[in-house]
Amino acid sequence: MHSFGHPVDLDALSTLCQEFHLTLIEDAAEALGSFYRKQHVGHKGLMSILSFNGNKIITTGGGGAILTNDEQLAHLAKHITSTAKIPHAWQIAHDQIGFNYRMPNINAALGCAQLEQLPGFIEKKRKLAEIYRQTFADIPYADIFIEPKYAKSNYWLNLLMLDKNCLHLKDEILTQSHQSGIAIRPAWNLMHHLPMYSSMPCMDVSFAEALVKRIICLPSSVNLLDNINNQ
């Protein structure tokens, strides 16, 4: 998963996958327009996904896309996401369990228009991230998360990383911001902290646990930059 639009270290991950005979599947839902070593994310895995949900970098209202270079898998994905009906002039026969996950034409049309705007959106996202970075540069107790060296990120969502010694201020910061009309958020919960998964086996993820406590998600809409420019 390319969290918050920042590519994971795909080379390192695929080495691990080879070593342990695992299939790599990239969750690039948040990472349309992000690059790993000059290549767009979504190329390394056997399959990858993008999301066009309302909160993502571009939207079709809902839905997403499956990416793969495996022709057979592509046909299978197309088949079972469009009710698994065998093509025929009049017969209505389905050859396996299928799903109606087709993107309606109206949503696809919206997506085409959104795609045309993607370069502009990403430029604005990156500018906004830079403004945040500069604004918080002199504040000792928090940093803006910046893209890894190997990556060019879309900065889908900007993250303020609280210093480990300031975690007790997090609730206060969230409360005060909301009272001032600034909708900042904590990070999503880790899966193993969700009640329905809490009894599942879980490895040591103390690094993620430490990170998630520090994260505050900042407003990151491209419209924000328009507002700044208009002032």
Ligand X SMILES: *Cc1c(COP(=O)(O)O)cnc(C)c1O
User: CA-CA-CA-CA torsion for 65, 70, 75, 80, nearest 10 degrees?
Assistant: -60
DSSP conformation letters of 65-77: EEE-S-HHHHHHH
Half-sphere exposure of 112 (CA within 13 A, CB side): 7
Q: Report residue 25 as tokens.
A: 């599947």
In the complex with ligand X, which residue's Cβ is closer, 2 or 214? 2
Q: Are the CB atoms for 59 and 106 separated by under 8 Å?
A: no
In the complex with ligand X, which residue's Cβ is closer, 29 or 58? 29
Residue 41 lies near ligand X (rule: CB under 6 A): no
Q: Which amino acid is residue 131, in one-letter code?
A: I
Q: How many residues does the chain have?
A: 231
- Distance of closest approach, residue 122 Cβ to ligand X, in angstroms: 17
Residue 30 lies near ligand X (rule: CB under 6 A): yes
- Distance of closest approach, residue 50 Cβ to ligand X, in angstroms: 8
Round to whole Å and give the CA distance between 182 and 174: 9
In the complex with ligand X, which residue's Cβ is closer, 84 or 217? 217
Question: Of 27, 40, 98, 185, which one interacts with ligand X (CB under 6 A)?
Answer: 27
Count other Cβ atoms within 10 Å, centred on residue 81: 15
| Three-state DSSP class for residue 204 | coil
Question: Of 7, 8, 10, 29, which one interacts with ligand X (CB under 6 A)?
Answer: 29
Segment contacting ligand X (CB under 6 A): 26-34, 179-187, 202-210, 219-227? Answer: 26-34
- Distance of closest approach, residue 227 Cβ to ligand X, in angstroms: 25
Residue 58 lies near ligand X (rule: CB under 6 A): no
Segment contacting ligand X (CB under 6 A): 25-33, 77-85, 117-125, 199-207? Answer: 25-33
In the complex with ligand X, which residue's Cβ is closer, 166 or 186? 186
In the complex with ligand X, which residue's Cβ is closer, 108 or 169? 108
Backbone angles phi, psi at 130, to 5 degrees: -65, -40
Residue 51 lies near ligand X (rule: CB under 6 A): yes
Contact letters for ligand X, residues 76-115 (x by CB under 6 A): ----------------------------------------
In the complex with ligand X, which residue's Cβ is closer, 26 or 214? 26
Q: Report residue 44 as tokens.
A: 């390394």
Count other Cβ atoms within 10 Å, centred on residue 1: 12
Round to whole Å and give the CA distance between 158 and 164: 18
Interacting residues toward ligand X by CB under 6 A: 1, 27, 29-30, 51, 53, 64
